[in-house]
Amino acid sequence: MFSQLALPFPSVLTRTRSLLPGFMLCGVIAVAATFVSEHYGGPQFLYALLIGIAFHFLSDTEKCLPGIEVSAKKLVRFGVALLGARIVASDVSALGLAGVGALIGAVALTIGFGLLMARVLGLPSMLGLLSGGGTGICGISATLAISSTLPATRENERYTLLTAIGVAIFSTVAMVLYPLIVKAAGLTTAEAGLFLGGSIHDVAQVVGAGLIISPEVGDAATLSKMFRVAMLMPVVMILALTFHAERQKTATGGAKAPILPLFLVVFAALATLNSVGWLPPAVVEASSTLSRWCLVISIAALGIKTSLEKLAELGWKPIVLMSSEAAFVAGYMLLVVYLSRSLTA
């Protein structure tokens, strides 16, 4: 009896040993990217991507491959699930009905615009969905979350990485340029926060852009951005239901793909617990930190798996797609700000 109970442990140990080389490689790249970002500035995710791409030659190594695959596909779900601890329902009331409506519109319209532009440019709809979701919701985190609901194919992996690179670049450009637009347009603190939080892709770049202007704008922009992060849950839930049948076809080992992924259930549970005040601040902070590390390691793994040659085959059209999406959401949020100003004048 005891020997039967002990049987799983050697297999778990063997599995862990097989994952360690690839996982440690991705972890070291994540640490290096974080060091460069903290000491020299710049986006942590972009550094992880670029350093990971430099180690692409290890992607076919038998020792490293299992850990790289798990980091790219499984760890991301854990990281996205922990994002739920950052959501507080009471923040919605602070935005007001007009702000909430504007931000919901930004997410929905940007995803729709991405799908439309992909069709116009003759690109796959999956690329339009990923780039529109990444631009409209919360950057690379949203891109990875949306990707996890799509069929697990090589093409979707390539589109995910391409979107992650584009989102990281355009988000950094926006962090530098959009504060200049705020100054030139003479936006108030509330208007600037709505514009920056509603149009810049990643959370870190939203905070950075807001703090360039003032701490008050930084707080207002972060509030708007966190509502966009909260939109990740309903969007991913809809996509998970939409692509359930296709994910079922690509599920490996005969396993059935759940209708709602477990990471989405955990995301919703953490968001609910934090909204009712049952999560201590220390737990929220720890969850946020752990989530970011998981996502950085995952993006490093995606970088390792990336072939620049295959990305180059996609040509100039994805650049046009993602730049047009960034311009669209920025133009939309500016229009919202000016319309709200005229209505209250």
Indicate whether 215 belongs to any domain. yes
Q: What does the pLDDT read at residue 164?
A: 87
On whether residue 24 sits in a domain, the answer given is no
Does the residue 337 lie in any domain?
A: yes
- Per the domain annotation, does 308 fall within a domain? yes
For the cut 90, the answer to whether the pLDDT of residue 7 exceeds it is: no
Sequence-separated (6 or more) residues with CB below 8 Å from residue 64 = 21, 22, 25, 58, 304
Average pLDDT over residues 164-177: 85
Task: Confirm whether 259 is domain-assigned.
Answer: yes
- Does residue 8 form part of some domain? no
Residue 243 lies in a domain: yes
Using the predicted structure, report yes or no on whether residue 253 has a pLDDT greater than 70.
no
For 174-196, what is the mean pLDDT?
92
Least confident of 4-18, 81-95, 148-162, 267-281: 4-18
Q: What is the mean pLDDT of the chain?
A: 86
pLDDT tens digits, 281-338: 999 999 989 988 998 898 888 888 877 776 676 688 999 999 999 999 999 999 999 9
Look at 4-18, 148-162, 266-280, 301-315 and tell me which has the smallest mean pLDDT: 4-18
Higher pLDDT, 172 or 32: 32
User: What is the extent of the structural domain holding 165?
Assistant: 65-344
pLDDT of residue 123: 93
- Number of folded domains in the chain? 1
| Domain contains 208 | yes
